[in-house]
Amino acid sequence: MAAGVDQTMRSSKAAFPRPPAFLAGAPPAVLGKLDPDRALLSALNARKEPASLGCRIALGSIDSTLAAAKVQQRRMARAKKMIWKQPTVGRRSRTLFHDVHFYLICWARVAKLARFVARVTRFPQAQIVLRRYRTRLDQMSGFRDHLEHFEERLPGGSKQHVLKVPGDLFNMTGDSATIGGDSVDVGAASLRLLVVIVKEFKAAVLFDALETLASDDPTTVTRLIRRAAQDVGLARTIRQVQKEFGNRGR
């Protein structure tokens, strides 16, 4: 999927995911302090969902996987610079192959973890986020499969026939990686998109979890919101004190 298409998708849904109606007037700072992990676990416990802990682990693993994708993006950028300075089909090109492979593994892992959470919770907004980005997630996972089973795509391999261009056994042009005639963007724009997907998915999980709590455990949802509001007030107070001390030091 082209970067322009992704941008169109994002701009067409600027108001999504949507917070519950009872949070419609809440300041953005309060919404930002609400913890998706805590809300998710509380909602699933209220529902007596046996896989509640697994969902919380999966949601937390999405963050660590995104962090790994950022590391791989930096590694790919360094490898491409080295190749441009000294073009070669040797060690540096092979390193770039593995960096791209590991980057795509991160994309596939985020998709699998998010789909696990969405399947267990049956949260509606979380499922909508995944449907919106399904084409891109599937594209990145499919390209990862090419690299994961690279030996099967080689001449004489059992899956050589799946390549539309059999002679294309991994190439990079700018930010686009190709294999067998298939191409994906693995540059900085793709990482920004992955960040957006994770952000939207976690927001959807948070809002869906709060909706569940509002019905099943209103006491807990009230406590979570009060704590977030208190955290915002505390942060504001700290900034005011720091500003006052800063003025005195001048």
Tens digits of residue pLDDT in 200-238: 999 999 999 999 999 999 999 999 998 998 888 877 766
Does pLDDT of 58 surpass 60?
yes
Asked whether residue 8 is assigned to any structural domain, the reply reads no
Q: Are residues 170 and 199 in the same domain?
A: yes
143 shares its domain with 233: no
**98-116: pLDDT as tens digits:** 999 999 999 999 999 999 9
Q: Binning pLDDT at 50, 70 and 90, where does residue 40 land? A: very high
Is the residue at 225 inside a domain? yes
Q: Is residue 60 located within the same domain as residue 132?
A: yes
- Do residues 115 and 227 both lie within one domain? no
Looking at residue 91, its pLDDT comes to: 47
Q: Is residue 28 part of a domain?
A: no
73, pLDDT greater than 50: yes
d(CA 174, CA 184): 11
Domain extent at residue 225: 218-250
143 in a domain, yes or no?
A: yes
Same domain, 83 and 122: yes
Is residue 76 domain-shared with residue 173, that is, in the same domain? yes
- Within a domain: residue 111? yes
Average pLDDT, the chain: 86
The pLDDT of residue 4: 37
Q: Are residues 162 and 246 in the same domain?
A: no
The domain total for the chain is 2
pLDDT tens digits for range 13-30: 446 799 999 888 888 888
Are residues 58 and 128 both part of a single domain? yes
On whether residue 1 sits in a domain, the answer given is no
Shared-domain flag, residues 245 and 132: no
Strand order in the sheet with 182-185: 171-173, 176-179, 182-185
Q: Would you place residue 1 in the very low, low, confident or very high pLDDT band (cuts 50, 70, 90)?
A: very low
Do 55 and 166 fall into the same domain? yes
Q: Are residues 93 and 212 in the same domain?
A: yes
Which tokens belong to 212? 């569940």
For residues 231 and 110, membership in a common domain is answered with: no
